[in-house]
Structure 1
Amino acid sequence: MSSIEVNGKSYETDEEGYLVNLAEWNEEVGGYLAQTENVTMTDQHWEVINFLRDYYNEFQIAPAVRVLTKAIGKKLGPEKGTSQYLYDLFPYGPAKQACKIAGLPKPTGCV
């Protein structure tokens, strides 16, 4: 196992950099993980991150990109529920990259 350090506290991660203990996530950890992914967080990024965390809390699963796109469109509006919008925010894969920043497990089906 690996770990990251944010503000003097160590957080355990798996070999791909996903948090092991989801309960340890906070916005500072999310911001740090975003930096490691070369993502500059904006309100739009945080909106997707918070959506993902709520989704995970409700369904206990990280959504694959198609499910994520559809669910975001329902909740945040059709202009945000497109693959293009999500890839603009998270260029290395909206589900995979956003879930990592959100402190969630890698979605099933992501390579």
Structure 2
Amino acid sequence: MASTTIDHYLRVGGNEVALDPEGYLVELSDWSPAVAECLAEQEGIALTPEHWEVIGVLRAFYARYEQAPAMRPLVKAVGRELGPEKGRSIHLMRLFPGSPAKVSARLAGLPKPANCL
């Protein structure tokens, strides 16, 4: 079993959730909507229903493929599930500035995508 470095903890409703040095959950089972809200706050993001739609797509993708999608598969999955207008890079950049694949995976409680192109 690989060792994961715990960098810090996120306080969520009296509980401590371990994060790795890049801010991803050490234990994926620690994820909850409240954890997502706290992680989003750290990113300067106020989660809207559009964010939650994408988080839902990501969590379903992970449940099916056991990996967080990189940018291209993320765009494709969002487009397939939420329609072509939402399945565009520009839409995801607006919701999850910086690196949409990394930021959205972190908020969805998933591991860092292997390739974020």
**How does the TM-score come out when normalised to structure 2?**
0.91
Q: 2: distance between equivalents of 1:80 and 1:12?
A: 32
- Matched to 2:37, the amino acid is G
1:42 alignment partner in structure 2: 48
From 36, 57, 70, give the equivalent of 1:30.
Answer: 36
Count of residue pairs brought into register by the alignment: 111
RMSD: 1.1
User: What per-residue deviation string (whole Å, max 9, x for no partner) do you get for residues 58-88 of structure 1?
Assistant: 1100000011001111111000110000001
- Of all paired residues, the percent bearing the same amino acid is 47
Superposed counterparts of 1:64-103, under 5 Å: 64-103=70-109
Structure 1 residue 41: Cα displacement: 0.5
Q: 2: distance between equivalents of 1:19 and 1:28?
A: 13
Q: 1: distance between equivalents of 2:116 and 2:48?
A: 24
4+ runs deviating over 4 angstroms: none
- Matched to 1:57, the amino acid is A
- Matched to 1:56, the amino acid is Y
1:14 alignment partner in structure 2: 20
Query: Which residues of structure 2 form unaligned runs of 5+?
Result: 1-5
**How does the TM-score come out when normalised to structure 1?**
0.96
2:3 alignment partner in structure 1: none
- Matched to 1:62, the amino acid is A
Name the SS for the 2:9 alignment partner.
strand
Q: 1: distance between equivalents of 2:63 and 2:26?
A: 16
